[in-house]
């Protein structure tokens, strides 16, 4: 007997309470298999394909692309137990029975294919016609945000030539095409969900301008940083260090063959060694219990700027990795951040953050602690500067190191000791070898 089952937006974990629909992957009338992704959503932490735990025919969708839904809201309804138009569609009466956070509903789904009915008629969704999107041939684009930007502005991605590797279409390519398509005297289509504020002539108290919603990644960053500043009594100390020997050591390591070692990996290795000496900084504060919790493992976060905004991927068990392993993991997580495929698990659970803002061409900063962590090390650009070396003035590779720390977990002596040890390892990498 046929049965109509309602599939609701599952709990995506880590305190997330809502998600934005980026793209529907099924239409009303489609036959879906167990664990087949049915919708692509964007949370404050990652892009997630949400799989359906039922097999059957989709009879309704809830929510338009671009709208936000709270956890527990209906996503789709599926008729199960009815004869399927395709005997090989895997539609039946059984479901997987559960939906795991941010992933598929089983560890290895046997198949994830979409079966479409022939001569499908567009079905209204929330009062609007939802004609299926037709794409002929492969389009060299990875980012769901790029696809969405093009779709919202009526731009055919097949007509673009990407400037990325192997012709990959980047957001900059789409924005350039939209600006070029704008006729003289008329502004280009909006490149972000913004709202124009009325001028003073129509709104006496609000000046003219645009409003950008604080949601998604931008909203999550705003909430976390505001909470950090309101809850954590932070302090910052900094020191200039001669990084010449560290750069020479890296060049020697990479010149010996084998996988390349990144500078970030060497800095991370120095951080984990420093945290072993000063464990107070690898901790968190339990305000309810009025206790400092010193953590056993170092899960090292690192700041990464992406098209979606600032994200902090986490290298789990960084204290147990060598420089080669750290380099590989940094590269993997950075690529996932660039393409928007980081999972919630890869963006949470950090215990200490390394922020290399030197890539932006700046020397120093006063980092804001990544709540609920207790400290963050900031690294500026490494540039040639006059420096007294062995009693003589010389041109050396100099870097500014900044440590922002929670004054509840330690005093300035501990923070200064940590930062001085990091600087010593940067100036004389052999210092690090003595601690291994």
Give the residue numbers marked as catalytic: 407, 411
Contact criterion met (CB below 8 Å) for 160 and 181: no
Give the neighbor-by-neighbor strand order of the sheet with 37-42: 47-51, 37-42, 18-24, 68-70
**3-class DSSP assignment, residue 400:** strand
User: Omega into 372 within 30° of 0, i.e. cis?
Assistant: yes
**Nearest residue to 292 (alpha-carbon basis) of 403, 378, 411, 377:** 411
Contact criterion met (CB below 8 Å) for 334 and 313: yes
List CB contacts of 75: < 8 A, sequence separation 6 or more: 7, 8, 9, 38, 39, 50, 61, 62, 63, 69
**Nearest residue to 344 (alpha-carbon basis) of 311, 393, 306:** 311
**Rounded to an integer, what distance in angstroms lies between the CA atom of residue 9 and that of residue 19?**
9
The DSSP code sequence of 81-143 is SSPPSSTTS--SS-B-----TTS-SSSS-S----B--TTPPPEEETTEEEPPP---S------
**Rounded to an integer, what distance in angstroms lies between the CA atom of residue 397 and that of residue 247?**
8
**Nearest residue to 379 (alpha-carbon basis) of 241, 210, 215, 252:** 241
76: β partners = 7, 61
Residue 34 DSSP label? T
The DSSP code sequence of 359-382 is GGT-S---PPP-TT-SEEEEE---
Residue 366 CB coordination number (10 Å): 13
β-strands 68-70, 383-389: how paired? unpaired
Contact criterion met (CB below 8 Å) for 147 and 157: yes
80: β partners = 3
């Amino acid at each position: 007997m046929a049965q109509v089952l309602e599939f609701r937006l599952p709990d995506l974990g880590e305190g997330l309470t809502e998600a934005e629909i980026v793209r529907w992957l099924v239409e009303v009338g489609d036959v879906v298999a167990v664990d087949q992704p049915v919708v692509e959503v964007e949370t404050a932490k990652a892009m997630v394909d949400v799989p359906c735990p039922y097999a059957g025919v989709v009879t309704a969708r809830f929510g338009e692309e671009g709208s936000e839904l709270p956890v527990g809201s209906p996503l789709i309804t599926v008729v199960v137990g009815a004869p399927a138009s395709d005997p090989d569609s895997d539609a039946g009466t059984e479901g997987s029975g559960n939906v795991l956070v941010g992933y598929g509903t089983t560890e290895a789904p046997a198949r994830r294919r979409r079966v479409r009915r022939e001569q499908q008629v567009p079905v209204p969704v929330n009062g609007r016609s939802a004609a299926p999107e037709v794409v002929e041939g492969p389009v060299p684009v990875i980012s769901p945000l790029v696809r969405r930007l093009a779709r919202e502005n009526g731009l055919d991605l097949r007509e673009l030539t990407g400037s990325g590797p192997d012709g990959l279409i980047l957001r900059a390519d789409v924005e350039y095409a939209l600006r070029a398509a704008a006729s003289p005297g008329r502004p280009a289509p909006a490149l972000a969900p913004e709202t124009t504020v009325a001028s003073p002539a129509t709104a006496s108290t609000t000046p003219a301008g645009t409003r950008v919603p604080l949601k998604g990644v931008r909203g999550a960053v705003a909430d976390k940083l505001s909470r950090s500043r309101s809850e954590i009594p932070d302090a910052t100390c900094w020191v200039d260090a001669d990084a010449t020997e560290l750069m020479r050591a890296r060049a020697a390591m990479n010149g010996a063959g084998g996988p390349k070692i990144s500078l970030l990996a060497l800095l991370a290795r120095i951080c984990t060694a420093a945290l072993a000496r000063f464990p107070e900084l690898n901790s968190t504060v339990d305000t309810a219990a009025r206790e400092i919790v010193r953590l056993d493992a170092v899960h090292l976060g690192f700041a990464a700027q992406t098209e979606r905004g600032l994200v902090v991927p986490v290298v789990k068990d960084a204290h147990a990795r060598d420089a080669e392993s750290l380099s590989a993991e940094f590269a993997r997580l950075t690529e996932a951040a660039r393409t928007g495929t980081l999972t919630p698990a890869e963006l949470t659970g950090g215990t200490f953050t390394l922020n290399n803002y030197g890539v932006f061409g700046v020397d120093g900063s006063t980092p804001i602690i990544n709540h609920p962590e207790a400290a963050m090390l900031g690294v500026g650009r490494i540039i040639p500067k006059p420096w007294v070396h062995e009693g003589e003035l010389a041109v050396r590779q100099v870097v500014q190191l900044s440590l922002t720390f929670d004054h509840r977990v330690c005093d300035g002596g501990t923070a200064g000791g940590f930062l001085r040890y990091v600087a010593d390892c940067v100036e004389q990498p052999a210092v690090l070898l003595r601690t291994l």
